[in-house]
Each structure stands twice: as structure tokens, then as C-alpha cells.
Amino acid sequence: MKFVFFCFSFLVSISSFSQNVDINLLKSVNVDRNKSLDGPFEFVTNSVTPLTIGVPVSMITYAIITKDSTDKSNAIVMCSSLLLAGIVTNGIKYVVNRERPFDSYPFIQKLTTGSGPSFPSGHTSSAFAIATSLSMTYPKWYVISGSFAWATAVGYSRMDLGVHYPSDVLVGAIVGSGSAFLSKKLTRWINSKGKRPIRKSSRER
């Protein structure tokens, strides 16, 4: 319980520390942006929802086809990572209740949809949950580099499009990656419990 309180206090402190640095960084990304990249960044940010649905469904379908316990475990990790990331992200959002940057600063240009509390970034949280889960499931350099490049682009796009502060994105990435690691650990622990051999009684020996 103390650990949970410490983590929560740490996350809250990140949202409130050095607001000037936060908004100055966002201003340099959003106001001084290369406007020719608005379209590609909007595409990247919009890719999160279909991938959040498509990747778990694909892994579940593959596990059903192969009937392999490892594939089933991988699908469970992916689904539980996204579920945990969503619960934690939304819980923090409504406790901290931070305004969106375009609501607080008129010079920030909102270029995509963004509603509800700002801290942390839900898109970034989901993207890093997917990237981390895929990297642990398929630890190949091209999977790791590709998935994290996409997740990082998602986080940057949320700032470029004016809907999140840098600290929103940073904590979203931490929550998403942390959820994936925790889901992997819990799944391994549950599987190890299920594979424990049953001890024979003295009469059966």
C-alpha cells in the first residue's frame, strides 16, 4: 500500500512540477512545428485505436488457431497490459484532473480530438503498452525498434497536435510500459502456479 501511495504521489508531482518548463517545451513543439507534418502526425495518432483493437484480436485469433499455450499466454499478456494501462491512466486522469494545454493556453493550437483531463496521455499509454508487450513477446531487433519508434511517434504527435503536455506523454509512456511488464510478471507467476506438480500422499507412494 505504501508503494502504491509513493507511485501515485510521484506521478502527481510530475504533473505539477516546473509548469513553465512543460509549457515552454510544448510551445516549441506545437507552435513552432513543421506544419507539413501535421497530416502524418494525425495519421500516427489515429492509428492507436485500430491497433489497440487489432493487435489483441490478432493474437487471440492466432492462439485459437495454433492451440499453443505460449501463444495463449502472449495474448493474455497483451490484453491485460492494455486493460491495466487503461485503468491506471483513467484513474490518474480524474484524480489529478489537469486541464488540456489548449484550454489553459490560447496560443496552443489544437489539431486533433482531445477531451477530458490531460494527465497522463491515454494514447501514449496504450501505444507503449502495445510496444512493450510485443517487444517482450517477439524480442527481435526489428520488432523492438519498430514498435517503440511507433510508440514514440504517437507520444510526439500528441504534443505536436496540441492536446498533451510533455509530462503527460512521459508518464503515459511509463504507465504503458509498466503495465506490460507487470502483466508479463503476473502471467508467468500464474502459469508457474498452475504447473506445480501435485505431491503424492504417503499412501500413494
The CATH number of the domain holding residue 117 is 1.20.144.10
Cis peptide before 40 (omega within 30 of 0): no
Secondary structure (DSSP) of 7-20? HHHHHHHHHHTTHH
Cβ contacts of residue 134 below 8 Å, gap of 6+? Answer: 55, 78, 143, 147
Count how many domains the chain has.
1
Instruction: Return the residue matching grid coordinates 502472449.
Output: 74
> Is the Cβ–Cβ distance between 110 and 162 less than 8 Å?
yes
155: part of which helix (H) or strand (E)? helix 141-160
CA distance 59 to 76: 9
Query: pTM for the whole thing?
Result: 0.84
Other residues' Cβ atoms within 10 Å of the Cβ of residue 175: 28
Backbone angles phi, psi at 110, to 5 degrees: -85, 120
Q: Provide mean pLDDT across the span 104-126.
A: 92
C-alpha angle 131/133/137, rounded to 5°?
Answer: 115
Q: Is residue 53 part of a domain?
A: no
pLDDT of residue 198: 46
Residue 32 grid cell: 513552432
Q: Is residue 36 part of a domain?
A: no
Q: Is residue 40 part of a domain?
A: no
Q: How many CA atoms lie within 13 A of 130 on its CB side?
A: 27
Q: Is residue 106 part of a domain?
A: yes
Q: What percent of the chain has pLDDT over 70?
A: 85
Q: Is residue 54 part of a domain?
A: no
pLDDT of residue 184: 92
Candidates 125, 182, 130, 162; CA nearest to 11 is 125
Q: Which of 63-72, 108-117, 120-129, 188-197 has the lowest mean pLDDT?
A: 188-197
Q: Is residue 16 part of a domain?
A: no
pLDDT of residue 60: 95
Q: Is residue 165 part of a domain?
A: yes
- Containing structural domain, residue 115: 60-191
pLDDT of residue 14: 53
pLDDT for residue 203 is more than 50: no
Q: Is residue 154 part of a domain?
A: yes
Residue 52 grid cell: 489497440
